[in-house]
Amino acid sequence: MRKVCLDTVHLLAKRDPRVVFIGSDLGPGVLAGMKKEFPERYFMEGISEANVIGMAAGLAMDGFIPYVNTIATFITRRGFEQVALDLCLHRLPVRLIGNGGGVVYAPLGPTHLAVDDFALMRVLPNMTVMAVSDADEMRRLMVQSLDWPDPIYIRLAKGGDKIISKEENSFAIGKAIPMRKASAADYVLFVTTGVMTTHTLAAAESLIAKGIDSTILHFHTIKPLDAPALLSYAAQAKAIVTVEEHSCVGGFGSAIIEALIDNLTTIPPVKRIGLADAFSQHYGAQNDLFEVNGLMPQQIAETTERFLNRIANLPSGGLANGPTL
Amino acid sequence: MPLDERSIYLRKLVIRGLAGGGRGHLGPAMSLIEILRVLYDDVLRFQPQNPTWKNRDRCILSKGHGCLGLYAILADKNYFPLETLDTFCKRDSILGGHPEAGKIPGVEASTGSLGHGMSIGLGMALAARIEKRDSRVFVIVGDGEINEGSVWEAALSAGKHGLDSFTVLVDYNKIQASGPTKDIQDLEPLLDKWRSFGFAATEVDGHDVGALRGVLTALPLAAGKPNAVICHTTKGKGIPFAENNPDWHHKAKIGSEEISNMISALDSYHA
């Protein structure tokens, strides 16, 4: 996904003289082809996120379209004020590409985990927040990013991620994609983002054997949120389950709940599946942290089944006093 | 350093804004006046009727709290009517307590939170280099502002890129909000700091119009190096009771009597 993303920056630079690349000490050889072909539009700066983002703002103020790349948690946390003021307040077309979104850097510990990037970025006015599911979808996003008027935060996944997106589903920034449709009404509606869409597709398959049918709506764009798509599927759902590789505080699931509350008077029961509101206590691999947080496909299926059982066993009146799942 | 008629006039425009809002940063604006005056009268290339003219020089007031000084010179140059100064900080004014690009013609970047202007200016200088424009970039920073680490990140980067079209001017009035800079966060040796970051650096009396003109019309100081001009200034310059007085860094309420006292003080200063 990262390779496709950066290769596409080079491709866009060939097409459009406004495209510049700024990295923050990314290691040798990154975008070497672009560096060779367009040295005046390739910048490898030091470890200075605040400066790099401000510099991108200055370039964008004079008509360039900077693609800025570094580790996700640094680009969102370290230069947050520059993102807020230099980019969002001025509404500049700068693209922030964050390596290792979520728990990709599991072995490196909590300093390198981007578990709050959606929350930090989506709270900013004018910011667009993206988490695609695979490399093919990344290519579609990158091509469209060229003419998007606002700043964009692009979360990168681990790489080598299973390809699940399809050309025929079409792609437009800000438009959710139905990845699976239930055969009848009264289904579980999964709303997912990033690579959790892949896990949820597998979870949905395993739930069929339990007699649970589901629709999956994939949000590669977290902001602006495609509320019309959400609402159109939510109306027919018996329950909604959000799945994200992000803290449950303030992230994608929170955005979904906000959209539901703001637009509906009666809301189906909602379960959020995501990372705990805690600094990680473990290392290992990304999948290890998925397992710790209940984000592996089978765990998503089991949590969903338990949630549906709980709903079914509740007296009418809701979930307010039910036990914690 | 005595103030001539133009310097007194521009300071009266600052006070006009201050009176309009009944508040504002007085000291940080008054120390800037000659720096801005020389830049806009003698150095910068710009077209007030076409503020986004591509080939203009860019001037960013990174110490955005000194905005009343910037508003005074922009009004004087007809970027907007002088009467607009009377609306300072009012609900629907274009002139806020910190300057916003897009609202105010002639303001290149929205500033207010400190430590942002250098990197933005660096990006503009790089943009000019890519496009082979001869636009130059001037960034005015405060002495308190350069406590911010982001300033030095930008300085490292500007030195690396060898941008002699890029100039940082330090309004070195030696007083920040809490007191003397030497007590709060000593900046010395300041010239050496800039030089060690790859800048060609010099210092000048920031209220001496002739001296400022001499330095700023002769840039770059050295080919292939960004410029740092340390301007020794007096906070509150021109208003004796505000000079070097941290209490006049910012006032949230300024009455008409104080405004009258400032005008009288300026008139006496002139005399």
pLDDT at A318 over 80: no
pLDDT confidence band for A324 (50 / 70 / 90):
low
Q: Within 13 Å and on the Cβ side, how many CA atoms surround B66? A: 34
Q: Among B110, B127, B149, select the one facing A85 at the smallest CB separation.
A: B110
Q: Among B102, B108, B120, select the one facing A54 at the smallest CB separation.
A: B120
Q: Among A58, A66, A89, select the one facing B119 at the smallest CB separation.
A: A58
* Cβ contacts of B258 within 8 Å, gap of 6 or more: none
pLDDT confidence band for A325 (50 / 70 / 90):
low
Q: B235 and B69 in contact (C-beta within 8 Å)? A: no
pLDDT confidence band for B222 (50 / 70 / 90):
very high
On the question of a cis peptide bond just before residue A93, with omega within 30 degrees of 0, the verdict is no
Q: How far is A315 from chain B (nearest CA, A)?
A: 53
Measured CA to CA in angstroms, residue B63 lies from A211, A269, A316, B168, B204 at distances of 64, 51, 60, 12, 19
Rounded Cα distance, A94 and A119, in Å: 19
Q: Which of A173, A29, A3 is nearest to A99 (CA)?
A: A3
pLDDT at A169 over 60: yes
Structure tokens at A280: 């990680």
Q: B120 and A61 in contact (C-beta within 8 Å)? A: yes
Q: B30 and B14 in contact (C-beta within 8 Å)? A: yes
Q: Tell me which chain B residues have a C-beta less than 8 angstroms from the C-beta of A61.
A: 101, 108-109, 120, 123-124, 127
| Max CA distance (Å), chain A | 67
Residue A59: its H or E element? helix A49-61
Q: B28 and B61 in contact (C-beta within 8 Å)? A: no
In this predicted model, what pLDDT tens digit does every residue of A259-285 receive, in sequence order?
999 999 999 999 999 999 999 999 999
Q: How far is A162 from chain B (nearest CA, A)?
A: 38
In this predicted model, what pLDDT tens digit does every residue of A64-85 receive, in sequence order?
999 999 999 999 999 999 999 9
On the 0-12 / 13-18 / 19+ scale of CB atoms within 10 A, A277 is: exposed
Helices (H), chain B: 5-21, 27-30, 33-38, 67-76, 117-130, 149-161, 181-184, 190-196, 209-216, 256-270
Q: Which of B227, B223, B174 is nearest to B39 (CA)?
A: B227
User: For chain B, what is the mean pLDDT?
Assistant: 96
pLDDT at A2 over 80: yes
On the 0-12 / 13-18 / 19+ scale of CB atoms within 10 A, A208 is: exposed
pTM: 0.96
Q: A287 and A320 in contact (C-beta within 8 Å)? A: no
* Cβ contacts of A56 within 8 Å, gap of 6 or more: A22, A66, A68, A86, A87, A92, A94, B123
What's the pLDDT at A314? 76
Structure tokens at A204: 């949905």
Cβ <8 Å between B120 and A85: no
In this predicted model, what pLDDT tens digit does every residue of B83-135 receive, in sequence order?
999 999 999 999 999 999 999 999 999 999 999 999 999 999 999 999 999 99
Region A208-214 average pLDDT:
96
For chains A and B, count residue pairs whose Cβ atoms are closer than 8 Å: 100
pLDDT confidence band for B269 (50 / 70 / 90):
confident
Residue A70's SS3 state is strand
On the question of a cis peptide bond just before residue A39, with omega within 30 degrees of 0, the verdict is no
Nearest-5° Cα angle at A83, A286 to B103: 160
* Residue matched to tokens 């892949």: A198
In this predicted model, what pLDDT tens digit does every residue of B160-211 receive, in sequence order?
999 999 999 999 999 998 899 999 999 999 999 999 999 999 999 999 999 9
Q: A18 and A40 in contact (C-beta within 8 Å)? A: no
Cβ <8 Å between A20 and B130: yes
What's the pLDDT at B98? 98
* Residue matched to tokens 């030696």: B174
With the C-alpha atoms ordered A260, A266, A272, A276, is the resulting torsion angle positive or negative? positive
Q: Among B128, B129, B154, select the one facing A54 at the smallest CB separation.
A: B154
Measured CA to CA in angstroms, residue A174 lies from A117, A145, A257, B231 at distances of 18, 11, 17, 49
Cβ <8 Å between A50 and B108: no
Rounded Cα distance, A184 and A239, in Å: 14
On the question of a cis peptide bond just before residue A107, with omega within 30 degrees of 0, the verdict is no
Query: Which residues of A sit within 8 Å Cβ distance of B?
Result: 20, 40-41, 43, 45-46, 48, 50-64, 66, 81-82, 85-86, 89-90
With the C-alpha atoms ordered A300, A302, A303, A305, is the resulting torsion angle positive or negative? positive
Q: Among A50, A53, A61, select the one facing B124 at the smallest CB separation.
A: A61
pLDDT at A322 over 60: no
Cβ <8 Å between B110 and A51: no
pLDDT confidence band for A170 (50 / 70 / 90):
very high
Nearest residue in B to A52, CA atom: B119
Cβ <8 Å between A85 and B116: yes
Q: A223 and A122 in contact (C-beta within 8 Å)? A: yes
Q: Tell me which chain B residues have a C-beta less than 8 angstroms from the C-beta of A63.
A: 127
Task: Evaluate whether ipTM surpasses 0.90.
Answer: yes
Q: Tell me which chain B residues have a C-beta less than 8 angstroms from the C-beta of A48.
A: 150, 153-154, 156-157
In this predicted model, what pLDDT tens digit does every residue of A121-156 receive, in sequence order?
999 999 999 999 999 999 999 999 999 999 999 999
